C-alpha cells in the first residue's frame, strides 16, 4: 500500500497531522477527545519518524492491514472459506479501500471499529459457551470506538440489534453473569467519563454526534454530495473520492447479494448488511465523507452475491465434479475484470486525474528536500510546517527575516531588502512555482 499510495498530502491530512502532533495531556483533560486513538498513533509516528508523508500515512497503513485481516475473519464467520477470501480480496483491492489505507486521516477508523465490533460479536454469538475474554475485548473496543465521530450511534445500534434479534437475546442470556456484569460496569464507567467531559466541553458532542458546523438544513445537501461519487461515472464531482466509488461489477455483485438476503431476512447475518446501509445513509447526511462506510455493508453483500452465484452454478450440476473445475476459468476472468480496473483506477486516478490530483500537495516533500538552513515563511498551514523544526534544520518564522528566507506560497512582490535567489517548483501542472527563495540584497 505505501508503494501505490496517492502522492502528496491533502489539506485534511495536514490538519490531522497538526492536531495529532500538538495533542497533549492538557488537551485531553480539557475535552480534546475526538478521534483520540488515531491521533495518539499518528503523534507517535511523527515523533519517531519526523514530519514526512510516510509518517503521516503510517497509522492508516497499519490500521488498513488490520482492517483487511478483520474483514477476512468477519466474513469467514458467516460464509465458507472460499467465499470469504474471494469477497475480501475484491474489497481490499478496491479503490475506496486503498484510498482509506493510504490517507493519513482518521476516516479509516469509521470502518475499522464497526468491523472489529461485528467480528467480536460474531465470536461471542458463535461459541457454544461464549468466552468472557471476548466480552471484555468487545467492551474495551466499544469504549475506544466512541471517540470516533458517529460511533456512539453504532454503539446504540449494537445494543438495540441485540435486544431486537431473538437469537442474540438468547446468546446474551447464556453469558456467565459475573463477566456480563463487569462488562456492563466497564461500559457504564467509560460512558460516564465521556459524558462528564462532554458536559464540561459541550462543543465536543457536536463533533462526535454530527460534524463541526453541522446544521439540520445541511442534511440533504451533505447526503447528495456524499452519494455523488457512488452514482457518478465521471470524475467531475467535487470530492476526494474517485468516481465511481464502487465499480460497476462489484455493485452488480452486491445487488445480487442484496436480492439473495430477502429470503431469510431476519437471520442476523442477512439483515445486518441492509441495516448497515441505512446507517451509512444517515451518517453521510452528517458528513459527506462518511459515505466511505459503504465498504463494510458492500463487503457483506458481495460475499452474499458470491455465495448465491456459486450455489446456483453447483446446483446445475450437483453430481458432476467437472462442472466445479470448469468454473475456475470464468471465475478467474470475472475477478480479473473486477480487480485490475479498480487497481488501475486507484494508481493512475489519484496521480493524474486533474480534479483529484490538485487536492494533494507536494510542498512538504519539496521543502524537506530543497531547503537547508533557510528560514521558511509561510502564510498557509504554518503550525503544520513548524513541526519540521524538530527533525530538520529548517526554521519556520512568523515574518520575513534572516540572510536567506524561503517564502511559500508565491508572494505578491519581492520583499523589501531582498532579491530573488531561486524558484522551487512542484510536478503539478498549475501553480507549480510553490517556493520563492530570497537572499539579502547586497545594496541593503
Contacts (Cβ under 8 Å, ≥6 apart) of 185: none
Cis preceding linkage at 244, omega within 30: yes
Q: What does the pLDDT read at residue 138? A: 83
Task: State the CB neighbour count (10 A cutoff) for residue 395.
Answer: 16
Q: What does the pLDDT read at residue 29? A: 64
Instruction: State the pairing for strand pair 395-397/375-378.
Output: parallel
Q: Which grid cell sits at 114?
A: 464497526
Q: How far apart are CA 266 and CA 372, in angstroms?
A: 64
Q: Are 312 and 322 in contact (CB under 8 A)?
A: no
Q: Which grid cell sits at 133?
A: 475474554
HSE at residue 130, side-chain half, CA atoms within 13 A, is: 25
Sign, CA dihedral 44-45-46-48, equals positive
Q: How far apart are CA 309 and CA 25, in angstroms?
A: 54
- CA 187 vs CA 109, 144, 174: distances in Å: 20, 10, 19
Q: Which three-class secondary structure string do you get for 21-44?
A: HCCCHHHHHCCCCCCHHHHHHHHH
Per domain, the residue ranges of the chain are 9-357, 362-440
242 DSSP 8-state letter: P
Q: How far apart are CA 347 and CA 325, in angstroms?
A: 33
Nearest to 12 by CA among 56, 43, 52: 56
- CA 410 vs CA 11, 14, 406, 427, 434: distances in Å: 18, 20, 10, 16, 6
Q: How far apart are CA 14 and CA 9, in angstroms?
A: 7
Q: How far apart are CA 370 and CA 362, in angstroms?
A: 12
One pLDDT digit (tens) per residue for the chain, 444 residues: 445 556 788 889 999 999 999 887 766 666 678 888 999 999 999 999 989 999 999 999 999 999 999 999 999 988 888 888 889 989 998 888 999 998 889 999 999 999 999 998 888 776 666 667 777 788 888 888 888 999 988 888 777 777 776 666 776 676 667 666 777 777 777 777 777 777 777 777 778 888 777 778 888 888 888 888 887 776 656 677 887 888 888 888 888 888 887 765 555 566 788 888 888 999 999 988 899 999 999 999 999 888 888 888 777 776 767 766 777 777 788 788 888 888 888 888 877 777 777 778 888 888 888 888 888 999 888 899 999 887 788 888 888 888 889 898 888 888 888 888 889 888 766 677 888 999 888 654
Sign, CA dihedral 241-243-249-254, equals positive
**What three-state secondary structure class fits 439?**
strand
Q: What does the pLDDT read at residue 2? A: 44
- Strand partners for 438: 405, 420
Prediction pTM value: 0.87
Q: How far apart are CA 4 and CA 351, in angstroms?
A: 10
Q: What does the pLDDT read at residue 191? A: 73
Sheet holding 433-440, edge to edge: 395-397, 375-378, 404-408, 433-440, 418-425
Please tell me the total number of residues recorded for the chain in this structure.
444
Burial 407-438 (b: 16+ CB within 10 A, else e): bbeeeeeebeebeeeeebebebeeeeebbbbb
- Residue 129 CA from chain centroid, whole number: 34
Q: How far apart are CA 4 and CA 37, in angstroms?
A: 26
Amino acid at each position: 500500500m505505501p508503494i501505490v499510495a496517492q502522492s502528496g498530502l491533502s489539506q485534511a491530512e495536514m490538519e490531522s497531522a497538526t492536531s495529532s502532533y500538538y495533542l497533549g495531556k492538557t488537551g485531553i483533560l480539557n475535552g480534546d477527545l475526538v478521534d483520540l486513538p488515531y491521533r495518539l498513533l499518528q503523534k507517535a509516528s511523527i515523533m519517531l519518524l519526523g514530519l514526512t508523508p510516510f509518517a503521516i500515512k503510517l497509522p492508516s497503513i497499519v490500521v488498513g492491514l488490520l482492517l483487511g485481516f478483520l474483514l477476512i475473519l468477519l466474513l469467514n464467520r458467516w460464509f465458507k472459506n472460499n467465499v470469504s477470501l474471494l469477497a475480501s480480496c475484491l474489497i481490499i483491492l478496491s479503490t475506496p479501500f486503498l484510498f482509506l489505507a493510504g490517507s493519513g486521516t482518521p476516516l479509516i477508523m469509521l470502518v475499522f471499529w464497526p468491523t472489529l465490533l461485528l467480528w467480536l460479536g460474531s465470536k461471542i454469538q458463535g461459541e457454544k459457551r461464549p468466552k468472557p475474554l471476548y466480552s471484555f475485548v468487545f467492551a474495551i473496543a466499544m469504549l475506544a470506538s466512541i471517540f470516533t465521530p458517529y460511533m456512539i450511534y453504532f454503539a446504540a445500534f449494537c445494543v438495540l440489534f441485540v435486544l431486537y434479534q431473538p437469537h442474540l437475546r438468547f446468546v446474551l442470556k447464556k453469558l456467565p453473569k459475573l463477566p456480563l456484569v463487569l462488562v456492563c460496569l466497564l461500559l457504564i464507567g467509560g460512558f460516564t467519563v465521556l459524558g462528564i467531559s462532554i458536559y464540561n466541553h459541550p462543543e465536543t458532542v457536536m463533533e462526535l454526534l454530527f460534524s463541526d458546523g453541522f446544521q439540520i438544513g445541511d442534511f440533504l445537501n451533505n447526503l447528495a454530495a456524499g452519494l455523488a461519487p457512488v452514482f457518478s461515472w465521471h470524475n467531475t464531482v467535487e470530492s476526494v473520492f474517485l468516481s465511481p466509488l464502487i465499480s460497476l461489477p462489484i455493485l452488480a455483485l452486491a445487488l445480487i447479494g442484496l436480492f439473495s438476503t430477502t429470503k431469510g431476512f431476519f437471520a442476523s447475518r442477512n439483515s445486518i448488511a441492509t441495516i448497515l446501509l441505512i446507517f451509512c445513509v444517515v451518517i453521510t447526511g452528517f458528513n459527506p465523507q462518511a459515505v466511505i462506510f459503504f465498504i463494510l455493508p458492500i463487503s457483506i453483500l458481495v460475499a452474499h452475491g458470491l455465495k448465491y452465484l456459486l450455489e446456483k452454478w453447483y446446483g446445475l450440476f450437483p453430481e458432476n465434479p467437472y462442472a466445479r473445475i470448469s468454473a475456475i476459468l470464468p471465475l478467474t476472468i470475472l475477478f480479473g475484470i473486477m480487480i485490475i480496473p479498480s487497481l488501475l483506477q486507484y494508481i493512475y486516478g489519484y496521480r493524474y486525474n486533474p480534479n483529484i490530483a490538485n487536492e494533494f500537495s507536494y510542498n512538504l516533500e519539496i521543502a524537506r528536500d530543497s531547503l537547508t538552513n533557510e528560514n521558511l515563511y509561510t502564510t498557509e498551514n504554518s503550525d503544520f510546517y513548524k513541526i519540521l523544526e524538530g527533525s530538520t534544520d529548517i526554521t519556520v518564522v512568523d515574518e520575513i527575516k534572516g540572510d536567506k528566507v524561503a517564502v511559500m506560497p508565491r508572494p505578491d512582490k519581492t520583499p523589501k531588502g531582498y532579491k530573488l535567489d531561486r524558484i522551487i517548483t512542484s510536478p503539478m501542472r498549475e501553480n507549480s512555482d510553490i517556493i520563492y527563495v530570497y537572499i539579502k540584497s547586497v545594496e541593503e
